[in-house]
């Protein structure tokens, strides 16, 4: 099973992201734009995991979530990894918020205690909006980058749970299935 932990986005936030990216989608229709039902904030990517590990992962999520009450994360500006000149991923950033970082940290530690590796790189919270299949010509990418930098989103996103998803790969694209949900505060 190909698994990852994520924070789901409410419908109103998804709608706001649809509105904020309308002009960008028109400017770069050849990017692989992420469908709204697949947009989320990844807390931890696990990759291929055996089905027998599910109870341990559910337990890790429950323990991490129990130590944190509901919180809000702020969605802000649009960026690209590694940068707009060589963009592979276009994302909307989530403001570095101490409580979100602590939730991520505690989930990492809970997973480590269940035998899963800790992510080696820093947590950079973001929501993937599009993937770049092939690099755009320089002039189009510059125009796209200017447009993306002008988009300002100011939204607070409620975070009430951690969800463990299975990513089921298919020729038509990945489909996500909720495997476990852990409510913050253990409610």
Helices marked H in 4-137? 11-27, 54-66, 98-113
CA 122 – CA 116 distance, rounded (Å): 17
CATH topology of domain 2-186: Cyclic Phosphodiesterase; Chain: A, (3.90.1140)
What single-letter DSSP state applies at residue 30?
Answer: T
The pTM is what? 0.92
pLDDT of residue 126: 95
CA 5 – CA 162 distance, rounded (Å): 7
Q: Which segments in the chain show pLDDT lower than 70? A: 187
Residues annotated as part of the active site: 40, 126
Of the chain, the percentage scoring pLDDT greater than 90 comes to: 76
pLDDT of residue 86: 86
SS3 of 61-93: the string is HHHHHHCCCCEEEEEEEEEEECCCCCCCEEEEE
Residue ranges of the domains in the chain? 2-186
pLDDT of residue 171: 83
pLDDT of residue 187: 60
């Amino acid at each position: 099973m190909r698994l990852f932990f994520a924070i789901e986005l409410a419908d109103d936030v998804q709608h706001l992201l649809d509105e904020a990216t309308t002009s960008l989608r028109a400017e770069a229709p050849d990017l692989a734009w992420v469908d709204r039902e697949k947009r989320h904030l990844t807390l931890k990517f696990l990759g291929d995991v055996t089905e027998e590990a599910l109870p341990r992962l559910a337990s890790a999520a429950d323990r991490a979530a129990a130590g944190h009450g509901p919180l809000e994360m702020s969605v802000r500006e649009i960026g690209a990894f590694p940068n707009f000149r060589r963009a592979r991923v276009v994302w909307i950033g989530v403001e570095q918020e101490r409580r979100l970082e602590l939730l991520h940290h505690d989930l990492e530690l809970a997973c480590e205690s269940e035998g899963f590796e800790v992510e080696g790189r820093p947590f950079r919270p973001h929501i993937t909006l599009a993937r770049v299949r092939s690099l755009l010509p320089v002039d189009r990418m510059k125009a796209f980058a200017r447009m993306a930098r002008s988009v300002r989103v100011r939204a607070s996103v409620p975070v009430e749970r951690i969800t463990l998803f299975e990513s089921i790969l298919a020729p038509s694209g990945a489909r996500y299935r909720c495997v476990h949900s852990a409510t913050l505060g253990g409610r």
